[in-house]
Structure formats: structure tokens, C-alpha cells
Chains A and B, each alone.
Chain A
Amino acid sequence: MNKTKITQSFQKTINYLQRIVPILLGVIMAISLFIVLIPKSFYRAVFTGKNFFDPLIGACLGSVAAGNPITSYIIGGELLKEGVSLIAVVAFILSWVTVGVVQLPAESLILGRKFALIRNLFSFISAIIIAILTVLTLSIL
């Protein structure tokens, strides 16, 4: 193995760490705050347990959020523990990575506005469909 390549890879990983650690720590701090301060009844009020609206809300929240997928897993995992339905959480983590409202200006600028808008719209709809299909499949398996 080339020594330069190992150093480059190591440097890349360090760069990734520098980017992700402050976000990760900040998100864990925010989640801890929410867990302690927000009562479970709040989540039950937002996510009502309805098969269509729960993934829709989850997908909307995931679409406007941005950042590393790890963050969405942590938030999604904690939402599950708070009693939010799996269908909503799956839609949330899916739209987090596939829909990028925050990155939309950059995507539009480079890949074209029409392309960016259509791609994000289809990704949003897919997030809801996949969430429903995933939970349905798991219930059958």
C-alpha cells in the first residue's frame, strides 16, 4: 500500500471528523435538551399515528433539515423511543438524505433548476411511499 495514499486517506478522514464532530456534539446536546424538556405528549400531538399524515410530517421535517445522515439516525432513533411511529421516522431519515431544501440553490445552479426541483419532488414523494412499503414489508416478514 502506497504511503502517500494512506496519509491522504487519513487526512480525508480527519477532515470529515472536523466537520462532523461539532455537528454531532451539538445535535446530541440539542436532543438531550429536548428529551428532558419536551413532554412525550408533544410528540403524540404532532405525530398522531395516522398512516398517511405521520410519514408526511416526517418527510417534511426531514426535507428541511440538513446535515450528515448520522444526525438523522440519532434523531430518528430518539423519536422512536419517544413513541413516534416507525413509518414517520423512516420517512424522516429518508427525506433527510434524499431531499435537500437547503442544498436546492446549489443543485439548481449547477445541475439546472428544473432538474433540481423535479428530482427533489420525486424524492419527497418516494420517501413517503418507501416508508409505508418498508413498514408493511416488515409486518409481513
Chain B
Amino acid sequence: MKRISEKLNSGSWIFLLSMIIIYSFLIIFKFDLGIKVIRQFLILLVKIIPVFILVIFLLFILNLFLSPRKIAKLLGKESGIKGWLLAIGGGIISTGPIYMWYPLLKDLRDKGMRNAYLVAFLYNRAIKPALLPMMIYYFGFPLVAVLCIYMILFSIINGLLVEKAIKNNL
């Protein structure tokens, strides 16, 4: 898992470096166009910075009160409606890259956690409280609210369908 994380991390730096190289070429060979692109970049950056600061603060708070082990401990215990609520809630409040969760979830499944909860957990990772300000900034509160409700609903439907499909050997 650490290797995947390192790979992604180095990939992101390579990506940034390649963008810097493209920008440098633009400035050298097409100066006017390069300036236009840089201006557009600064406009976007200035717009995003305040929301990003809020996102970082919320992440810090979440990291302070939650840990993957704590969430996993809760998920492994419950079943029924409480199990669904924990899978949904756990997915929403979980942080970090998705692949970091695979070993923990496998461990929970080996200990008896239903596939349906696992799917619901993974699906609800799409709703991130810390990132909601950014989402609202771009798409507005009504859309984000409606989308979150549908996502929670479909996480249950998907969970049940995937579980059934696996059981029926589809």
C-alpha cells in the first residue's frame, strides 16, 4: 500500500513538473498566449485558495477526532439498520486515499462484515464533509444536498445488489 501511495505521490510531482515545462515552452515560443494562460491560472488559483484553506481546517478537525482504526472497530461490530448507518457514516467520515482502506475492509469482511456494508462504505466515501464547501462553491447548496441524499440512498441499493450478484455468482 505504501508503494502505491509513493507511486501516486511521485506521479503528482511529475504531472506538476510537466505542466511547468509546458508553461515554460509557451512563454518562450508563444509569449502572448503564455501570459494569457498564466493570467487564467492566477484567476482560478485566487478563487480557490479561500475555500481550500477551509477544507484543510476541516480535515485537521476530522483527523483530530477520527482514525481509520476507530471507524473499522465500529463497522465490524454491528449489523441490521445500525450496521447500515455505521457503514454509511463510516464511509462519509473516512479520510485518506481509498486504497488505504482496502486492507482494513478486507480484514473486516474476513471477520464477518457483509459485502453490502462494504459497498455502502466505499460508495459513501464520495461524500466528504471537509470538501463540501468546495463542492457548494462550484455547484450550489441545492444540488449538493440533493446529490448527497441520492448518493446515500444508492449506496444502500448498490450494496444490496452487489451482495446479491456475488451470492448468485453473476
Q: Measuring CB to CB, which residues of chain A are less than 8 angstroms from any residue of chain B?
A: 1, 5-6, 8-10, 12-13, 16-19, 22-26, 28-33, 35-37, 69-70, 73-74, 76-78, 80, 86, 89-90, 94, 97-98, 100, 103, 106-107, 110-111, 114-115, 118-119, 122-123, 126, 129-130, 133-134, 137-138, 141
Shortest beta-carbon distance, A40 to chain B, in Å?
A: 14
Are the C-beta atoms of A114 and B166 separated by less than 8 Å? Answer: yes
- The reply on B29 being an interface residue by CB < 8 A is no
Contacts of A130 in B (CB 8 A): 147, 150-151, 154
Query: Interface on chain A toward B: helix, strand, loop, or mixed SS?
Result: helix
- Closest partner residue, chain B, to A30 (CB atom): B19
The contact string, 1 if C-beta is below 8 Å from chain A, for chain B 44-60, is 11001000100110011
A-B contact pairs, 15 of them (CB 8 A): A13-B56, A19-B8, A19-B9, A22-B12, A23-B15, A28-B45, A29-B16, A30-B19, A32-B38, A36-B40, A76-B139, A103-B98, A111-B109, A119-B162, A122-B119
Q: With the chains together, A46 CA to B141 CA distance in Å?
A: 28
CB-contacts of B10-45 with A (<8 A):
12-13, 15-16, 18-20, 22-23, 33, 36-38, 40-41, 44-45
Residues of A within 8 Å of B96, CB to CB, are 16
Q: Which residues of B contact A115 (CB under 8 A)?
A: 115, 118, 162, 166
- Chain B residue numbers with a CB within 8 Å of A106 are 4, 99, 102
Nearest CB of B to A80, in Å: 8
Indicate if the CB atoms of B119 and A141 lie closer than 8 Å: no
Contact B158–A134 (Cβ < 8 Å):
no
Known interface pairs A98-B126, A126-B154; A36-B37 also in contact (CB < 8 Å): yes
Among B114-151, those with CB < 8 Å from A are 115, 118-119, 122-123, 125-126, 128, 131, 134-135, 137-139, 142-143, 146-147, 150-151
Tell me whether A9 and B102 are in contact (CB under 8 A): no
* Smallest CB gap from B164: residue in A: A118
Q: Is B73 located at the chain interface by the 8 A CB criterion? A: no
- A123 — which chain B residues lie within 8 A by C-beta? 123, 158
Q: 10 tightest CB-CB pairs across the interface, nearest first?
A: A77-B138, A97-B126, A32-B41, A32-B40, A9-B63, A110-B102, A29-B19, A9-B64, A26-B16, A22-B16
Are B33 and A36 neighbours in the complex by a CB distance under 8 Å? yes
Given contacts A69-B128, A122-B158, contact A133 B150 (CB under 8 A): yes
Complex formed: what's the CA distance from A137 to B22 in Å? Answer: 42
Tell whether A98 pairs with B123 under 8 Å between CB atoms, given A23-B15, A110-B106.
yes
